Amino acid sequence: MEANGSSVPMKTGFIVPARVNRETKPDGTIVSVKGTELGGKGIVIIAGPCAVESSEQLFETARSVKANGAKILRGGAFKPRSSPYNFQGLGEEGLKLLREISMETGQSIVTEVMDTRQFELVSEYTDILQIGSRNMQNYPLLKEAGMSRKPVLLKRGMMATIEEFLLAAEYILNQGNDQIILCERGIRTFETSTRNTLDLSAVPMLKQLTHLPVIVDPSHGCGLRWMVPSMAKAAIAAGADGLIMEVHYKPETALCDGQQSLSLDEFSLLMTELKRIAVAVDRVIL
Amino acid sequence: MEANGSSVPMKTGFIVPARVNRETKPDGTIVSVKGTELGGKGIVIIAGPCAVESSEQLFETARSVKANGAKILRGGAFKPRSSPYNFQGLGEEGLKLLREISMETGQSIVTEVMDTRQFELVSEYTDILQIGSRNMQNYPLLKEAGMSRKPVLLKRGMMATIEEFLLAAEYILNQGNDQIILCERGIRTFETSTRNTLDLSAVPMLKQLTHLPVIVDPSHGCGLRWMVPSMAKAAIAAGADGLIMEVHYKPETALCDGQQSLSLDEFSLLMTELKRIAVAVDRVIL
Amino acid sequence: MEANGSSVPMKTGFIVPARVNRETKPDGTIVSVKGTELGGKGIVIIAGPCAVESSEQLFETARSVKANGAKILRGGAFKPRSSPYNFQGLGEEGLKLLREISMETGQSIVTEVMDTRQFELVSEYTDILQIGSRNMQNYPLLKEAGMSRKPVLLKRGMMATIEEFLLAAEYILNQGNDQIILCERGIRTFETSTRNTLDLSAVPMLKQLTHLPVIVDPSHGCGLRWMVPSMAKAAIAAGADGLIMEVHYKPETALCDGQQSLSLDEFSLLMTELKRIAVAVDRVIL
Amino acid sequence: MEANGSSVPMKTGFIVPARVNRETKPDGTIVSVKGTELGGKGIVIIAGPCAVESSEQLFETARSVKANGAKILRGGAFKPRSSPYNFQGLGEEGLKLLREISMETGQSIVTEVMDTRQFELVSEYTDILQIGSRNMQNYPLLKEAGMSRKPVLLKRGMMATIEEFLLAAEYILNQGNDQIILCERGIRTFETSTRNTLDLSAVPMLKQLTHLPVIVDPSHGCGLRWMVPSMAKAAIAAGADGLIMEVHYKPETALCDGQQSLSLDEFSLLMTELKRIAVAVDRVIL
């Protein structure tokens, strides 16, 4: 295998880059976050609000998802929003709230970093650095993540091929950081009845091509609260190593993505169902 | 609800047509094929070769998939092929072979009809009329199917929206035939590592909007044999009422779609796994 | 070159089929319709209503587009409509009206054929058989067109690759009919501000790969009346051999596609502009 | 019109944001770069290599495109490349070469900025800041550009809707910078015979919705050198205010995008043809 990537020709012209290539690590990479392992037999559930809005909203949501099995808490402090007039996140104030509640619940934290200038600040507070869909090909950001010692949750670009997704991960690995979690979150197609088209075939494809753990975000994938449970179950049946889901204590008042956020009760019910699917594919929800 | 369709506004402008609308039949339609019911609690497995090639190929495949639980046998006699130089199917000879083996195994038959002039002939031999992806908006064909007394398996066009898919079914229902099985089979996107992108979110979406049974074709959906099991399991977890899969006794020599056909052993193994997933969603493979 | 198509490898795996391949006829095919030649230096304008609605509507529109330079009259008698509740066309009555006005204006006629059983009837009335976008992969229809002695206007499927478009034309040529006009009419993408995305790069691509004439349908391509002139001009600058456009004497009352139909005055003005573009690329509007 | 954007409802739900909205400035914005005006009657040609590779390569190319009418020189010093193993650009050394040759030829310079930390450096050398396709939704970068006093060339994301493109421009305008040039450069579709699908309907659509100048990049739009002239002509016929094209003194040895770069002679010939098209739409190449 050449240094510039090679081998495992999928189809003519398709090359899996060298460092992410499963051949270099047939047993797979385990990403370990404060003792929780992604990429092994266990399935990890990440849940929380789209954006941190207030201590009440964050704390109530965090306590509830923790009680129902979410090992990791998600919550955006810096939000990439299509319109400059939308809520852009609480910034450092949001990061502080995440730390406060995580010290209480013992959950790990994942939050997004959008700007190379934010790495130092965000790294102080978070356990996992998220690189969002819109930044999957933001190469300075990927390189910075590669120089970090924190695990990175890399979301697939909403119109990125599998090949480009792997190359984005290669940018991070190439800087020395192999603690990468890949996340399928829906791609853009002509279909408009769902927000995106969740591409679950990406799960077995990525598991085949790379040694990195693969999780699914059914919330962004379909954009419809009532559809999240079906797609969450399907993701686990397809072989996902984890799920990241938006949950809000009052979805109807959420400042962002309310229509795709599960309520606390819906999340609780779903966790029961997910456990049964996990068993049916010889795995277990951690 | 108006005669020209209405109600259940999904999003602005999205209208579910009147006759396929779940509101008109909240309990759902059961499509009954020689005693096998699609659309109830049971999950129906349809399997067989892409095309009927010979008595040996068809009979060996049919006996094996029957023994492993496929209630319905698929096999093309008239094949829609992108190139005029590809194998176009055995025609009536293929239909005769389908009838011969079905009398032995007791399976029902599903085979494609491509031309309004073929309805009489194909109807003599088949139990279910398949309308293929390329013909989803072939309105004379849909109307003819609507006047038939046979159940119709309608495949989603490879670039059809959910809305158009429902309108195509409405063409059939509007002629008086409500025995329609909808089939998600992958849509065309920018992604090229898979043949199509299997849109599993179509399953809960269609189940929500219409009373018709919904099945999934993971073979065409991903186009890769090794990926079919993962996607078949995911389809059932997502709520599908059945699966249609390509199986061939010697995939490597198949005249059509060999790279996506399961071998007899692979199918047998998969059926064991599917039973476990079905139980985990409170259903059962028939 | 092999009988099953070959040569001119565009990219790995892309094969231009044998009979449509420009290499087999470097000077290009001229399609001649009652003395009007498509595929030569002249540019041919086809115009008329989406559907034939009445003698008044058709006749007024036809006279006006004729007076402004449309050599060929378009008008649908059998209409493929997404919904069964939409106007489906006047059928044979529409064909008779097309013949009546064409005898007065001297224009040739192009109208769509949707069903293999309609060929005999439609061929009695029309000069060019149109195969619509939804039927680009309706192989029985393509074969029937290949056995006809009428020129065929083949529209690109809204989801068809260039490769599939050429294979569809090959089906017709393979039956002995080389009088084929290819028509780019917009493809389906994620963009929703236009009805389709008009793929003008298809024009030079097709001119490069095949000897058949290539025209453009800006009306369906963008779906917005005000945008048709810009895209019509761009199509000619890109090298199109003709245009097919929807024109209606009262667009706001049209039974079909009114929002994309030019008024008589708009068409008249556009023709003036098109002549200037044609000259700038060393061609002439016939 | 509300501060959070509004009016000009295109279709249900489609809102043109307030500051980019043509209604706020019906006469259009003129972007002025050292006396060259974009957005007026004149058409501006921007040309140069994909990446700055060496003084010889840059200088020979710059002199030639200048002699043939390119008012503005393009050239990448920081290159966003899908693979970390591809040439990433010369960095500041490239910027210095751009300044050196621009002082000789008198051309203005446009070069890409990829990282918020690079603004100060890049701004020292360039006349126009380019924000590339992959960064169209890199909001920190957009905000930084909005605080700059340099004109910004904003490329449409390869997956971006028109609506999102306008919102990205709104981010810049919202910070006080209205010197924005919008650039259509091809979108991602299922078609694979071209690198992207150049969406020329974006030109009239953007001109209708916003007051900002609109240019087209046919090089990335189709990715094939031989096709660039056809699409360049079509772009001007469609109403573009300018073109940005890749030109290389030895395309076959280019370190990046050689297959889509025009040779010096091809560019020279194309300029002659473009002048004729410009006249045919009552404009003039500056």
pLDDT at D4: 38
pLDDT at C2: 34
pLDDT at D14: 75
What are C44's two structure tokens?
A: 């041919």
D222 to chain C: nearest residue by CA?
C201
The conformation of residue B258, written as its DSSP 8-state character, comes to G
Which long-range contacts does B8-16 make (Cβ < 8 Å, 24+ apart)? B8/B209, B10/A193, B10/B209, B11/A192, B11/A193, B12/D12, B12/D13, B13/D12, B14/A192, B14/A193, B14/B163, B15/B163, B16/B166, B16/B209, B16/B210
- Give the burial class of B56: count Cβ atoms within 10 A of its Cβ; 0-12 exposed, 13-18 middle, 19 or more buried: exposed
- C140 CB within 8 Å of a chain B CB: yes
Residue ranges of C 226-245 with Cβ closer than 8 A to chain B: none
DSSP helix/strand/coil, B140: helix
What are A203's two structure tokens?
A: 């799960």
pLDDT at A1: 31
Mean pLDDT of A20-28: 96
Q: Which residues of D122-159 are buried (b: 16+ CB within 10 A; e: fewer)?
A: beebbbbbbbbbbbbbbbbbbbbbbebebbbbbbbbbb
CATH superfamily of A30-285: Aldolase class I (3.20.20.70)
Question: Do the beta carbons of residue C39 and residue C30 sit within 8 Å?
Answer: yes
What are D41's two structure tokens?
A: 């009657």
Query: What is the distance between the alpha carbons of residues D112 and D116, in angstroms, rounded to a whole number?
Result: 12
Mean pLDDT of D273-281: 98
Residue of D239, B235, B79 whose CA lies nearest to C139: B79
The four Cα atoms B117, B120, B126, B127 give a dihedral, to 10 degrees, of 110
pLDDT at A13: 62
Separation of first and last alpha carbons in chain D: 36
Mean pLDDT computed over every residue of chain B = 94
| Closest Cβ–Cβ partner in B12, B13, B190 for D190 | B190
pLDDT at D9: 37
Q: CB distance D84–A3 less than 8 Å?
A: no
Query: What is the distance between the alpha carbons of residues C164 and C182, in angstroms, rounded to a whole number?
Result: 12
Q: CB distance B188–D190 less than 8 Å?
A: yes
Q: How far from the centroid of its chain's Cα atoms is residue D161's Cα?
A: 17
pLDDT at B14: 74
C187 to chain A: nearest residue by CA?
A190
- D116 CB within 8 Å of a chain A CB: yes
Closest-CA distance, B188 to chain D, in angstroms, reads 7
Question: Do the beta carbons of residue B57 and residue B252 sit within 8 Å?
Answer: no
Question: Do the beta carbons of residue A40 and residue A49 sit within 8 Å?
Answer: no
The conformation of residue B14, written as its DSSP 8-state character, comes to -
Digit-coded pLDDT (tens) for C180-215:
999 999 999 999 999 999 999 999 999 999 999 999
Mutation site, A200, A205, A217, A274, interface B, largest B CB count within 10 A: A200
| Closest Cβ–Cβ partner in C12, C13, C190 for A188 | C190
CA angle A243, A247, A248 (to 5 degrees): 170
Mutation site, B14, B138, B192, interface C, largest C CB count within 10 A: B138
Closest-CA distance, D186 to chain B, in angstroms, reads 13
**At A54, is the pLDDT very low, low, confident or very high (cuts 50, 70, 90)?**
very high
Cβ neighbours of D81 in A, within 8 Å: 139
Q: CB distance B238–A222 less than 8 Å?
A: no
Does the domain spanning B33-285 belong to CATH 2.40.50.140?
no
Residue of B99, B65, B84, B82 whose CA lies nearest to B133: B82
Q: What distances in angstroms separate CA B24 from CA B7, B18, B31, C243, D166, one per listed residue?
A: 10, 7, 16, 45, 42
- Does pLDDT of D5 surpass 50? no
pLDDT at C61: 98
* Chains touching D by CB (3 or more pairs below 8 Å): A, B, C
| Closest Cβ–Cβ partner in A191, A227, A277 for B280 | A277
Residue of B66, B103, B77, B107 whose CA lies nearest to B267: B66
What are A277's two structure tokens?
A: 């699917």
HSE, CB side, 13 Å, CA atoms: give it for residue C130.
Answer: 28
- Does pLDDT of C19 surpass 60? yes
Q: What is the pTM of this model?
A: 0.95
Closest-CA distance, D104 to chain C, in angstroms, reads 34
Question: Which CATH number among 3.30.43.10, 3.20.20.70, 3.40.50.970, 3.40.640.10 corresponds to the domain C22-285?
Answer: 3.20.20.70
Mean pLDDT computed over every residue of chain A = 94
Domain boundaries, chain B: 33-285
Q: Where are the beta strands (DSSP E) in A9-74?
A: 31-33, 36-38, 42-48, 72-74
Closest-CA distance, C135 to chain A, in angstroms, reads 20
Residue of A121, A186, A127 whose CA lies nearest to A155: A186
Q: Which residue has the tokens 């989603």?
A: B156
pLDDT at B13: 62
Q: What distances in angstroms separate CA C232 from CA C115, C200, C224, C278, one per listed residue?
A: 30, 10, 12, 11
Digit-coded pLDDT (tens) for C61-106:
999 999 999 999 999 999 999 899 999 999 999 999 999 999 999 9
| Closest Cβ–Cβ partner in A12, A13, A190 for C189 | A190
Query: What is the distance between the alpha carbons of residues A44 and A66, in angstroms, rounded to a whole number?
Result: 12
Beta bridge mates, B243 = B45, B216
Digit-coded pLDDT (tens) for D172-184:
999 999 999 999 9
Cβ neighbours of C190 in A, within 8 Å: 159, 188-190
Closest-CA distance, D193 to chain B, in angstroms, reads 12
CA angle B80, B82, B86 (to 5 degrees): 80
Digit-coded pLDDT (tens) for A90-119:
999 999 999 999 999 999 999 999 999 999
- Does pLDDT of B260 surpass 80? yes
The four Cα atoms C168, C170, C175, C180 give a dihedral, to 10 degrees, of 80
**At D2, is the pLDDT very low, low, confident or very high (cuts 50, 70, 90)?**
very low
What are A145's two structure tokens?
A: 């993540």
What are D7's two structure tokens?
A: 């009016």
Digit-coded pLDDT (tens) for B26-66:
999 999 999 999 999 999 999 999 999 999 999 999 999 99
Q: At residue D257, what are phi and psi to the nearest 5 degrees?
A: 60, 30
Q: At residue C281, what are phi and psi to the nearest 5 degrees?
A: -115, 25
- Does pLDDT of A8 surpass 80? no
Cβ neighbours of C226 in D, within 8 Å: 204, 208
Digit-coded pLDDT (tens) for A113-146:
999 999 999 999 999 999 999 999 999 999 999 9
ipTM computed for the complex: 0.94
Mutation site, D190, D192, D195, D196, interface B, largest B CB count within 10 A: D190
- C259 CB within 8 Å of a chain B CB: no
Cβ neighbours of C198 in D, within 8 Å: 200-201
Residue of B29, B5, B12, B1 whose CA lies nearest to B206: B29
- D169 CB within 8 Å of a chain C CB: no
How many CB pairs below 8 Å do chains A and B form together? Answer: 129
Q: How far from the centroid of its chain's Cα atoms is residue A217's Cα?
A: 6
Digit-coded pLDDT (tens) for B145-176:
999 999 999 999 999 999 999 999 999 999 99
